[in-house]
Amino acid sequence: MDDSKKYPRGHWMAREDEKLLQLVEEFGPQNWNSIAEKLQGRSGKSCRLRWFNQLDPRINKRPFTEEEEERLLAAHRVHGNKWALIARVFPGRTDNAIKNHWHVVMARRQRENSRLCSKRNASQGHDFLSHRTTVNSTNHLLTSSFQAPDRGDAGKLFEFGSVARERMNSPLPWSFSRSLTHRSCDCTNIHGQMARRRPLHWSTYRSLGGGACRDETASSSEMVRQNSTISMNPSDVERDEASFKSKEVRFIDFLGVGIIS
């Protein structure tokens, strides 16, 4: 197979790397557009990325150790998604590597949780979508996180969001997006306002082909990444929280479109 077929999406070939190394030696790691002019088919940006993420001899390419993972999680708790900042305390690790590895760790933990929860739910007969809420006490914003059991289900959830948005009779603009892990569907009301919440039964999701769902507790960082924001008055928030805590919530309660099929 020739290289153009082998690397359809811009993967770097050894001979390109060699050339880039030469050029960086000649010009230094700057003036990337000038460097790119001498490398056919590569932008300055692409050259810079290749150098800083892969070719720079200072890069540590060894697998992350457990100790590094612990430090990474601790740093993320302090700094959030400031990958460049976090990378500074990991000599030889790039921000991209740090970011990727954090997602690997989160995905691994999520899988572990998922396995535990699916076992528990199977024994308890639970079959609803993951739903978790947090409340910002300052402005009474309710943040809800919804999570599908796997990547394919997130696709269904996403499709559902599109259909729901078309069919719902809401004056508010909602946007949907899939998460980094392809396991959840984010919905965002850009006005952050909703006069009244209406129920959205998860069976609607299932009617679109979604599988069995689980009761799962997302980590706080997942919550940040996978959220929708709905403005509510405090009493609604309290009721919702109490309801959720007592596990009475058997439906996703966020868009208010009801069953659409």
Partner DNA sequence: AACGGTACCAACCGCGAATAC
Partner DNA sequence: AGTATTCGCGGTTGGTACCGT
Residues that bind DNA (CB under 7 A): 6-12, 30-34, 43-46, 48-50, 52-54, 61, 63, 81-85, 95-97, 99-101, 103-104, 107-108, 111, 150-152, 177-180
Residue found by looking up tokens 């790397």 in the block: 17
Q: Which residue matches tokens 């996403």?
A: 158
CB of 214 to DNA, least distance (A): 14
Closest approach of DNA to the CB of residue 30, in Å: 4
Minimum CB distance to DNA, residue 11 (Å): 4
| C-beta of 50 vs 132, nearer to DNA | 50
Q: How far is the CB of 169 from DNA (least distance, A)?
A: 27
Nearer to DNA, 76 or 249 (CB): 76
Query: Using CA atoms, how far apart are residues 74 and 253, in angstroms rounded to an integer?
Result: 33
Q: Which one, 61 or 196, has the nearer CB to DNA?
A: 61
Residue matched to tokens 């599908």: 148
Cβ proximity to DNA, 58 vs 196, nearer residue: 58
Which residues make Cβ contacts (< 8 Å) with residue 240, sequence separation at least 6? 133, 142, 232, 249, 253
| HSE (side-chain half, CA atoms, 13 Å) at 119 | 5
Of residues 32 and 254, the one with the C-beta less far from DNA = 32
By C-beta, is 48 or 237 nearer to DNA?
48
256 Cβ contact partners less than 8 Å away, ≥ 6 residues apart? 168, 170, 194, 196, 197, 198, 199, 200
Return d(Cα 132, Cα 204) in angstroms, integer.
19
- Sort 114 into a burial class: Cβ within 10 Å, 0-12 / 13-18 / 19+: middle
Report d(CA 28, CA 35) in Å as an integer. 9
Least separation, in Å, of the C-beta of 42 and DNA?
A: 7
Q: How far is the CB of 158 from DNA (least distance, A)?
A: 10
